[in-house]
Amino acid sequence: MKCKQLSNLDQQKSLRPVRLATAVAWILSRHIRTLWNAILKRWLALPNELVWPRAEEISQLNQLIVEETGEPFSLLKPDQLESACARPYNLWTYGHEERMAWLATSLILGIATNHPFEQGNKRTGYAGGLVFCLNNGFLVEGTDSEEFGDYIISAVTGEISEDEFAYSLDDYLVENLNF
């Protein structure tokens, strides 16, 4: 009988690596499945995600704006431009803000206050906010750039809050149903 028990014990020892390998494969497959499901959910959600501003595009926009007036183009603080461009995404992701006027306001005032360019920061912020709205299916109707220039200056100097600026921008936003 001792021989049989020994052979069973030997068999059990020889099966341990197989069982361990099977258990590890099962655990990995569960994690891979979970990871794949997360990737799939994110991929399926992408059509609903907004089109976020990119620093290169805002920089090109500034170049066009200052060329119109003959001012020099110079990107003084690229990191501040990146920071301003990330504001709407961060507000959407971490602040759970979905209102377009508030997201656009964060971009407009981010560029205006960070002052990444030598010239045209407020104009570029305003134009960048309009393009951001357009790229995401909203039209900004009836705004006068001088009127909003005054609003931007008031917000940058602290005379009005970001919320007040966003409320005023929201009055001019119209969802483009043909988008």
Structural domains in the chain (count): 2
Q: What percent of the chain has pLDDT over 70?
A: 70
- Do 27 and 100 share a structural domain? no
Residue-number span of the structural domain to which 120 is assigned: 50-175
- Alpha-carbon gap, residue 108 to 153, rounded angstroms: 11
- Do 55 and 9 share a structural domain? no
Which of 12-21, 71-80, 168-177 has the highest average model confidence (pLDDT)? 71-80
Q: What pLDDT is attached to residue 33?
A: 55
Question: Is the alpha carbon torsion for 107, 112, 110, 155 positive or negative?
Answer: negative
Nearest to 104 by CA among 113, 123, 94, 91: 91
Which CATH number does the domain housing residue 75 bear?
A: 1.20.120.1870
Q: What pLDDT is attached to residue 151?
A: 83
Residue with tokens 């960048």: 128
Instruction: With both helix axes pointing from N to C terminus, report the angle between 145-157 and 121-135 in degrees, rounded to the nearest 10.
Output: 110
- Do 99 and 35 share a structural domain? no
Q: Residue 95 above 80 pLDDT?
A: yes
- Do 171 and 101 share a structural domain? yes
Residue with tokens 């709407």: 88
Alpha carbon separation from 8 to 4, 15, 140 (Å, rounded): 6, 10, 79
